[in-house]
Amino acid sequence: QVQLVESGGGLVQAGSSLRLSCAPSGRTFSRYAMAWFRQAPGKEREFVAAISWSGGSTDYAGSVKDRFTISRGNAKNTVYLQMNSLKPEDTASYYCAATETSFGRSERDYEYWGQGTRVTVSS
């Protein structure tokens, strides 16, 4: 019953930045841990970043650490993914996910998913 909508994807040049947003539907949103996953063509979906319900704890995949930042906003518990120094290998569809339990790095840890937003990084 929880719906998530991602936005902010697009086509950019290597070295550029993008900010993805994940907005829950409706006004009510409980203590959900949130995460971002991505899936490139022909590849398995992989963990990118996660944040606790309070925003006090975060986790990042080694491939994006020091380049990406996950954060929570105040408007409808919107979650953001700031992506800097983008590389062609970052090209993928990015998915927002939520869980009522503690965050993890596995797809199985999350109950709700957004439709995805495409990010394409050209060289």
Per residue in 96-110, pLDDT (tens digit) is 999 988 889 999 999
Would strands 117-122 and 10-13 be described as parallel, antiparallel, or unpaired?
A: parallel
The answer to whether residue 15 scores a pLDDT higher than 70 is yes
The answer to whether residue 79 scores a pLDDT higher than 60 is yes
Cβ–Cβ under 8 Å, residues 33 and 53:
yes
pLDDT at 30: 67
- The whole-number average pLDDT for the span 108-116 is 94
The answer to whether residue 60 scores a pLDDT higher than 60 is yes
pLDDT at 27: 53
d(CA 89, CA 21): 20
- The whole-number average pLDDT for the span 17-27 is 86
